[in-house]
Structure 1
């Protein structure tokens, strides 16, 4: 079957001397993996290895056999040539962090158009904005809406956040109930836009504690989720 679809590069892994195994989140087919033969040595081919940097936005034509094996990209073009996403050190660190998060969060080989459009919009926003100090916090919170475990805010005035159940409550009922300044700050993010959330003032400690809490929250709600390898770099930058 031949498919044509916009796609987001999640990761690419070198295979041998000249090949790449590429993981793409496609708009029409969900998460798919492809073997690109000879792309690392090809100088004249239409498909370049530079196309497969993390979070690149592509338009692909691909052959899908749907047999659980690696598929093949027949043609690809870059949809957006970024201004700063892969050249600005802070943004490129966020790119690797987001890529790591998505590797553990997206598993389905089926379309999720709303999630795709959220990721596409978010990537473009990051490329074109300079105030990005709270970007990773906002990105993770909004991502939970599309993965099905956005916190229930009906009792948001209670001081405890129960990470296991995704609710706010008056007292502690399990090991995953937390309270404190970082929970109070976390509440402010809920329901804000990306632009508004960049104006939320956080101490280094609060930013770090919110991030730690969110990653535990993801671990509790996503089977197989792993803390991103890029986390230490991100903490160093934003702390």
Structure 2
């Protein structure tokens, strides 16, 4: 079946001499993997290697056999050109980190248009703003809503956050209860949008510990989650 859909590139891995295996989150068909034969050697083909950088937004024409095997992309074009996402040092580190997070976190193979639109709009915002050091924190919190594990904030004034239960509590009730500066920062992310991020001033330590809290939360609530290898690069950059 030949389909046309928007797609966001999550990863591209070299295969054999000149091929790429590309993982995309598509608007119409959810998570899909494609084998691009000869793309690394072809200079005049319809598919350009530069199209398959992490988080690139494409419109593709693809052949889907839906048999659990790698699919094929016939045509691709940039759907949302980026100005700075792959050239700005901080943004490119965030891109690598988030693309790996998404590759680990998104498992569904059905279409989820609200999730796709959230991703597309979030990356557009990241591309067009300069104060982005805390972007990944708010992005991950908001992403959890689309993954079905958004924390319960009904008791947000309580001092403890139970990562296992996903709620705020008055007392320490177990191994995964946290309190302190990271939880205070975490609370400040609820109920805001990306345009409010420049108002959040964090130290490097606060940012690192809040991110670690979010990553433990993902580990507890998402089956098969793996800590991103790019986390080390992100932490080194912000340190």
Q: Decide: shared fold, TM above 0.5.
A: yes
Q: Deviations over 1:139-173 (max 9, x none)?
A: 11111111111111110010000000110001111
Q: What does residue 150 of structure 1 align with? A: 150
Q: What does residue 15 of structure 1 align with? A: 15
Runs of 4+ in 1 over 3 A off after TM superposition: none
Q: State yes or no: 1:138 paired with 2:134.
A: no
Q: Deviations over 1:165-194 (max 9, x none)?
A: 110001111200100021112101111111
SS of 1:130 mapped into structure 2 = coil
Q: Return the alpha-carbon distance in structure 2 between the equivalents of residues 89 and 133 of structure 1.
A: 11
Q: Return the alpha-carbon distance in structure 2 between the equivalents of residues 220 and 8 of structure 1.
A: 26
Contact map agreement 1:164 1:220 (CA 8 A) in 2: yes
Q: Return the alpha-carbon distance in structure 1 between the equivalents of residues 170 and 57 of structure 2.
A: 44
Q: How many residues are treated as equivalent by the alignment?
A: 239
Instruction: Report matched runs for 1:203-222 at 5 Å.
Output: 203-222=203-222
Q: State yes or no: 1:119 paired with 2:84.
A: no
Contact map agreement 1:12 1:21 (CA 8 A) in 2: yes
SS of 1:198 mapped into structure 2 = helix
Is there any run of 5+ residues in structure 1 with no aligned partner, and where?
A: none
Q: What does residue 238 of structure 2 align with? A: 238
Q: Return the alpha-carbon distance in structure 2 between the equivalents of residues 99 and 43 of structure 1.
A: 26
Q: CA RMSD in A?
A: 0.8
TM-score, normalized by length of structure 1? Answer: 0.98
Q: Return the alpha-carbon distance in structure 2 between the equivalents of residues 151 and 183 of structure 1.
A: 12
SS of 1:216 mapped into structure 2 = helix
Q: Return the alpha-carbon distance in structure 2 between the equivalents of residues 65 and 124 of structure 1.
A: 31
1:80 Cα deviation from its structure 2 partner: 2.0
Q: Deviations over 1:34-91 (max 9, x none)?
A: 0000000001111111110000000011111111000001111111221111111111
SS of 1:25 mapped into structure 2 = strand
Contact map agreement 1:135 1:198 (CA 8 A) in 2: no
Instruction: Report matched runs for 1:1-239 at 5 Å.
Output: 1-239=1-239
1:197 Cα deviation from its structure 2 partner: 2.5
Q: Return the alpha-carbon distance in structure 1 between the equivalents of residues 24 and 136 of structure 2.
A: 21
Is there any run of 5+ residues in structure 2 with no aligned partner, and where?
A: none
Q: Return the alpha-carbon distance in structure 1 between the equivalents of residues 94 and 136 of structure 2.
A: 7
